[in-house]
């Protein structure tokens, strides 16, 4: 289906989307097997073994199960590549850049200069973070440019992208709010409210799905029934929570009081070390949830300024903390993905063992690319900054650039500010800067100023 008035000659053929998908998953091809992370084991196991984990919803597990069917993990990577390539095609097409050439050029640039392929080629839901941002932009500013089938597809894709990870809920709500504000300024209150309803609909569906699955699995009506464990841990290791406990422990008598001298200095070790105090002294995350909630309430009530200060500091820290390849080291003979691959995909176990990742070659290779990926992000920002001093911005173009910046900041706030710092959190979004610059700059460089869309007022008819 084409956007308003586009001829069949302007459509992007399937082979171009397929070629773009291959470009966007090249690390898996070079590696000899799909890339994995420690959490890949959980995401594989939930659908394969029929359980719902305490720390993440099962929807990504169901998504990849629909692709691998216990036969091979390669269809998962191929499916993710096609999903991203098709989304890039939609963005380019609604911005009057249809056809194979813009898509293949964009995919090649992203493949060579950014970390997007390392995210798309990995059995993890991280690639969906960028998908959320682009989908919300399409729904907010180019809804009329999409066919009926594409609209339903976009609603379904956005719902899936939001519900695969709880952090995507505040992320998506924030992006929808920013989009509605831009629509209100550019087109008025009524279009803004309609757009906000469209953009929030997938998140509402995702929330309903999360509430339902958590009630069925844990008998708790909550989007994140054990999320307080992560936030309480963040508060304790930031300092505000530990100060609160050291002052109040004698009178409150929390179970964690007796383990404060053994929790260490690294929050991830506290959360995931099975012989650590969280599991040995506190009974595990599920058991400790009620106490974690009480700690959160107490810390916020006594020191709200300190909590906000710590969250702001963590957000800023996460904003500049990134490295390609985080988590792409070998996962051999560990409780991660290998036992499940050996059990459910035995014909691929040899390829897994012989892959460059499991031989220890992938991580240093990806790490050496970090300066290139950060440089591409900065290059995209510079290109958009240069364009900011020129006329010719349409409202969708301005919104695309603003949402990209909001996504990078919002992702840092949700992950670093509320949970914990990790190099991979920002790495999964840095590619957006170069892509947005390509989408916005290419028509500007190709056409004279007089032929460009006439500023904010010339952007109507697509939202």
Q: How far apart are CA 19 and CA 106, in angstroms?
A: 11
Q: How far apart are CA 43 and CA 345, in angstroms?
A: 15
198-214 exposure pattern, b = at least 16 Cβ within 10 A, e = fewer = bbbebbebbbebbeebb
Q: How far apart are CA 56 and CA 227, in angstroms?
A: 9
Better-scored residue on pLDDT, 54 or 203? 203
- Residue 221 pLDDT exceeds 60: yes
**Spatial contact of 269 and 210, defined as CB atoms under 8 Å apart:** no
pLDDT for position 12: 87
Confidence bin at 115 (pLDDT 50/70/90)? very high
- Residue 451 pLDDT exceeds 50: no
pLDDT for position 446: 58
Kindly report the average pLDDT of the chain as a whole number: 91
**Spatial contact of 236 and 278, defined as CB atoms under 8 Å apart:** no
Q: State pLDDT tens for residues 160-195.
A: 999 999 999 999 999 999 999 999 999 999 999 999
Neighbours of 452 (CB within 10 A): 18
For range 295-324, the mean pLDDT = 92
Give the bridge partners for 35, in sequence order: 122
- Residue 104 pLDDT exceeds 80: yes
Q: How far apart are CA 410 and CA 408, in angstroms?
A: 6
């Amino acid at each position: 289906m084409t956007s308003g008035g586009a001829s069949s000659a302007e459509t992007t053929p399937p082979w171009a989307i397929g070629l773009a998908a291959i470009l966007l998953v090249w690390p898996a091809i070079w590696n000899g097997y799909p890339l994995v992370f420690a959490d890949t084991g959980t995401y594989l196991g939930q659908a394969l073994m029929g359980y719902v984990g305490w720390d993440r919803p099962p929807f990504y597990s169901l998504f990849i199960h629909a692709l691998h069917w216990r036969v091979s993990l390669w269809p998962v990577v191929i499916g993710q590549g096609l999903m991203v390539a098709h989304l890039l095609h939609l963005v380019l097409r609604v911005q009057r850049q249809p056809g194979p050439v813009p898509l293949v050029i964009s995919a090649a640039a992203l493949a060579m200069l950014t970390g997007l392929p390392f995210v798309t080629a990995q059995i993890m839901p991280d690639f969906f973070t960028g998908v959320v941002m682009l989908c919300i932009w399409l729904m907010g500013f180019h809804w009329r440019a999409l066919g009926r089938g594409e609209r339903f597809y976009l609603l379904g894709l956005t719902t899936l992208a939001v519900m695969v990870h709880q952090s995507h809920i505040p992320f998506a709500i924030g992006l929808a709010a920013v989009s509605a504000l831009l629509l209100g300024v550019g087109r008025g209150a009524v279009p803004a409210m309609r757009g906000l309803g469209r953009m929030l609909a997938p998140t509402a569906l995702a929330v309903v799905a999360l509430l339902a699955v958590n009630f069925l699995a844990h008998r708790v009506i909550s989007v994140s029934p054990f999320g307080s464990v992560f936030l309480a841990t963040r508060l304790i290791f930031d300092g505000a929570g530990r100060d609160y406990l050291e002052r109040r422990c004698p009178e409150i008598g929390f179970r964690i009081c007796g383990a404060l001298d053994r929790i260490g200095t690294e929050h991830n070790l506290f959360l995931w070390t099975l012989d650590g105090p969280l599991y040995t002294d506190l009974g595990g995350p599920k058991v400790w949830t009620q106490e974690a909630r009480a700690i959160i309430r107490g810390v916020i009530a006594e020191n709200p300024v300190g909590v906000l200060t710590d969250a702001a500091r963590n957000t800023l820290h996460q904003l500049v903390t990134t490295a390609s390849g985080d988590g792409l080291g070998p996962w051999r003979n560990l409780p991660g993905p290998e036992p499940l691959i050996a059990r459910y995909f035995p014909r691929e176990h040899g390829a897994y063992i012989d892959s460059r990742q499991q031989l220890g070659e992938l991580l240093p290779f990806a790490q050496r690319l970090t300066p290139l990926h950060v440089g591409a992000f900065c290059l995209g920002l510079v290109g958009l900054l240069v364009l900011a001093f020129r006329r010719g911005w349409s409202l969708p173009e301005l919104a695309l650039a603003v949402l990209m910046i909001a996504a990078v900041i919002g992702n840092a706030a949700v992950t670093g500010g509320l949970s914990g710092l990790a190099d991979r959190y920002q790495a999964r979004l840095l590619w957006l800067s170069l892509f947005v610059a390509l989408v916005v700059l290419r028509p500007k460089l190709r056409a004279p100023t007089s032929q460009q869309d006439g500023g904010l007022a010339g952007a109507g008819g697509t939202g």
